[in-house]
Amino acid sequence: MVQTRKSFGNPNPTTLDRNVRQKRRSLEISTSLTYQKVYPDLIETTSYATTIQTTEQQDDDDVYETENDDSFASSQCSDRSYLSDNDTWKYGLAVIGVILAIVFGVWITGIGSNGKQSSVAATSYQNYIDSIRPVLDSPKFSSISKDNRVLLKLIGRKVFLEPENLAPLVVLVGGKTAKEFCEAVNQVVQKAKSETPAGTGNKSIRVESDTNRAELHENLREILGPSLSSQSSPRSAVVLDVDLLKWDAVLVLHAFADHENYPVPKAVLFLTVSDDSSIDTTEESCDEKMVRFLTSRWIENGGSSDNIPPIIARISYFICV
């Protein structure tokens, strides 16, 4: 008898489906566990990526905050300002150093120049003193008083030892030997000075009754030479018989004796009058007599008692011989 498998029976579809589902679930669980073992850090990696993103965002925020932080900007500006201040100080110190060097050089040069000028001036003055003594000791001028001798020494000091004083010096000499005395003293001045300007020097100007203004001006220009702003050596001239000048010609003397607008610096003018007999050299008031004599003559020649005193005031010293 053939044995059948009836005992097993036909499989129930419901049961079959249930078994399939169970196996499938088991497989899914197994697969899930397998994936977890293969990629155990997948969730952490995702989390780490999130952390990195957060940190980068935070860095951007920090940079933004740093750039907009006043204290940080102030610190940067302070550093730049410090460097800029250092550069400014260095530049300023360099400029000050250059200026001080220039000033020091000019000072040293000035000392040397002033020393040289002082030495030349002292030599010229000593030459003047040594040359004027024989003139005063001459029998021709033995009547010169002690006061006039002191006055001549003072004139030498002003002419040679005061180079900064460029104003003209006018000396009116009266007496019988006034002409010879003026020419002798003028030669002493010419020989004593350290330089000789372009001029005729020792030549005297004799005024005539017909000497006009232009002629006198041209003669003085020729003798005294051209005007030089750097002139420190005296220019001297002798003008004889100034009482004969017409009034307009007298103004030439006024111009050359001007203490502010002088045409020639350090000019020394020795003047005389024509009538020596009117001057009594034995009296102490001989200068007053010369002033009265000049005033009366210039009034006769066209002046007035109002416009003559300013010209007389230009005379620096009076000497009677």
In a domain, 35, yes or no: no
In a domain, 120, yes or no: yes
Query: Residue 176: which CATH number?
Result: 3.40.50.12190
In a domain, 219, yes or no: yes
Phi/psi for 107 (5° steps) reads: -65, -45
Q: What is the DSSP string of 91-139?
A: HHHHHHHHHHHHHHHHHHHHHHHHHHHHHHHHHHHHHHHHHHHHHHTSG
In a domain, 210, yes or no: yes
In a domain, 252, yes or no: yes
> Would you give the end-to-end CA distance of the chain in angstroms?
199
178: containing domain = 116-320
Cα–Cα dist 319/281, whole Å? 9
Q: Model-level pTM greater than 0.75? A: no
By DSSP bridging, strand 235-240 and strand 317-320 are unpaired
One digit per residue, pLDDT tens: the chain, 321 residues?
A: 444 444 444 555 455 556 556 655 555 555 444 444 444 444 444 443 443 344 444 444 544 444 455 544 455 555 555 446 566 777 777 778 788 777 766 665 554 444 445 788 889 999 999 999 999 999 999 888 899 999 999 999 999 999 888 899 999 998 889 999 999 999 999 888 766 555 545 678 999 988 999 999 999 988 987 765 556 678 899 999 999 999 999 999 999 999 888 888 889 999 999 876 656 655 557 788 889 899 999 999 999 989 999 999 999 999 988
Helical packing angle, 70-136 and 178-192, nearest 10° = 140
In a domain, 29, yes or no: no
Phi/psi for 315 (5° steps) reads: -75, 125
In a domain, 43, yes or no: no
Cα–Cα dist 139/145, whole Å? 13
What size, in residues, is the chain? 321
In a domain, 206, yes or no: yes
